[in-house]
Structure 1
Amino acid sequence: MTQQRTVLIIDDSPEDREAYRRYLLRDQTHHYIILEEESAEAGLAQCQKLHPDSVLLDFRLPDLDGLEFLEELSHQAGDQAPPVIMLTGQGDEAIAVRAMKLGAQDYLIKGRTSASDLLFTLNNVIENAQLRRELQQRKAELQESQQFIQKIVDTTPGIVYVYDLKEQCCVYINRGITDVLGYTADQISEMGATVLKQLMHPEDLQRVPEHLQQFDLLADGKTLEFEYRMHDAQGNWHWLWSQEAVFKRNASGAIQQILGIAIDVTERKQAEADRDRLLEREKAARAEAEAANRAKDEFVAMVTHDLRAPLNAIQGWTQLLRSGKLDAAARIQALETIERSTRNQARLIEDLLDISRMIQGRLELEPGWIDLTAVVKAAIAAAFPAANTKQIAIAPVLDNSSLTLRGDANRLQQVLGNLLSNAIKFTPEGGRVDVRLAKLGNRELEVRSRETDGRMGGSYAQITVTDTGCGIPPELLPYVFDRYRQAQGLARQGGLGLGLAIARHIVELHGGTIQASSPGEDQGATFTIQLPLTAITPEDTVE
């Protein structure tokens, strides 16, 4: 299939224009829309109006010469200017250099340029311009993604910092330092290499060298903990607990920078001072705090990896694209990888935002009348490509009767999407996922009502998603809907382990329930959703 490209020829010589036209028509790979102008002013107007893919520009024109044209084009169009190939009857290298500095992409000599030379140069110039535009777009997307992550870091409770071992100072610290110690990030930066000496308790400062030495034996991805005292801007001492990991190594493999997150544990330390009076309560609180810290440790390490991995892929392929050494197939692979990484990172960030909204009680629905059958079909259609890749069959059995309720269709599709995604993720190739949608009968409603102490009256729709995957160990079943549970128990399969927690919250906002069951490991799992149905009255249809 030939590619269509628009080429603007600006030349006051009809013979030269006709020659270029014949050259372009010889190209069997591309279809050219050829525009012609005799003057620079008319050519500039065409550039502004039609945005051609490339311009063949004669150096000597009746109104402006080629260099003046390039200056005016740059002034009018800036970065959006089309690529220009300068054509002249003179072989003046000085003019060629000036033209290239002013934005020309190449320089050809009339009378010495064959059709193949012109086509080769033109196609290279157009492809390079397209590649530059794509790179600019990807760079903008990367910057936007980085800014988004920066916002997440800045709003993270506690202090997030990067400490440089060589410079002995913080090269980054988030806004949490102001909330905890009352200093601004600029004040910490001004302290430079004296930051620990100025803020840390002398007794704890003596333990810092020993703590740092432990990083020499620490594998990447592992973390160390450290407790110490720092005084705030008013001179009050605070106990801080930090978790730190290797962030960057130099060319020789030595640790250069450490990434840490610190929280204020002053109250906990004060409670420990009263352990004689509150010993039993302290033991229970300590066990709970350790469990919470373990969950946080694993989640922080996982977030660091899962957010950084797409960025690494984007950055690596962007550098390869910028080098210009990739062939067409590799460029396509690069762009597909960048796009896929961007989508993955957006999905991870959206899960984090949903969890944040849940914690703050701000995850809201946009209710409307829903055809539940249509919602289930849409979720199955969205999951089909992933299932097809692993040759997993999705077998739907859907009730054809009217199943209508008042709720948020997009959020319910998100719930089913999470369940189907997990089923496909944890099911081996060639497996099967069954999706059933049915309306509960009277006898089923009576049983369900007894199970829930009579709290569920009326009609309910039941959705079940059953897979033939790895199953769920019995000891983990009570916790599958807890946040971050994947990091603590299930095999690491990608994602942050937040999907089921989000799904339960959305279902409960609709007045329904969600449950998980599994015969055991390697025996598959079933997730069951029950949602209250709502009959549509004549008044509702007028809405």
Structure 2
Amino acid sequence: MSIDAESSDFLRRMAGLVPGVIYIFNHKTKSNEYSNRSIGTLLGYTPQELIDLGDALFGTIVHEDDLEGLAAYFDSLGELADGVSATHEYRDYARDGSIVWLRSIDKVYERDTDGSVLRHIGIAIDITAQKQTEERLRATRRELEQLTYIASHDLKVPVSNMSTLTHMLSEAGELLPPEHSETLGWMRDVCNQAQEKLDALVCVAQANAGEMAPFEPVNLAAVTENVLVSLHCQTTDARAVIRTDFKVPEVTFLARELENMLQAMIANAIRYRSPDRRVRIEVTSRSVENMTEISVADNGTGLDLPRDEGKVFDLFRRAHAVPGGAGVALYTIRCLMHRIGGTIRVEGSPGEGAAFTLSFPQPGA
């Protein structure tokens, strides 16, 4: 047997062992000229059956939703430089009607006399399992987003209402028997714990949420009012004085997410209040260059920066040992701000309070 014959036989054997489909496509006839035997395992067709389909190949095996994209991709190979590969993902129908996802990697194999692509060679790899996994992940993400919505709306409202009710009842504590007062105190603790757990759940879910809804103008005064209603018990207990000054009345974002952010920031300001003075919190907005800044500043225990800055924004870490907390709110806020091209920064010093500032990109900036 000659060397050429041995080489040819070796290449045929290797092509038969390759798990992917090796093919040669003719751009003039719009048909396959060669496929290795792996096509039978993958799609249930013999190589000759695909050749016999001629220019009806695409219309027979390619998923109808991917026909236009695959045709455009094959046309684009005419611009491909020699030795450079291109990649495309699409769906084919197997002989039994099942759908197979393929990733093709293609290179120019032969050019015509005018330099145009006459044939290209490619290998198609089965990525069906990968696509199915991606779809399951998308379904899981949609469920997570739904859970986030339920936690931030359907569950937070009744817990907040229960907390408000127990607070109102406790105001009549002198009229209640001691055992009832004790029960009310226990109920308030449970409500606060439930609120913290829900807030943590919302934060972690938001940090891993999928695509956001379209942004819209959000009125800062209205959102802040909603936050203060939700935090009524905490602000009343702390005798907090809260002042607002919105030089920029609106920000382009999502009302629900901004409400969660401000609630977490104001709640933190109350939680880390100084025992030596009355709580004072300022919520302000202003325009700085091409950004809208929203700040929540307090006169609380403050922070030791830059020592504590890493702890402030890390997941499940806190700059203060007491009082307790989940350590997720500011981490989530930072994730959300980065996703939209914004930032969150902190300023402060020990015993002098802290200020957290959100910077939102302005539309058209």
TM-score (norm: length of structure 2)? 0.45
Which structure has the higher relative contact order (CA within 8 Å, separation 6+)? 2
Q: TM-score, normalised by structure 1?
A: 0.31
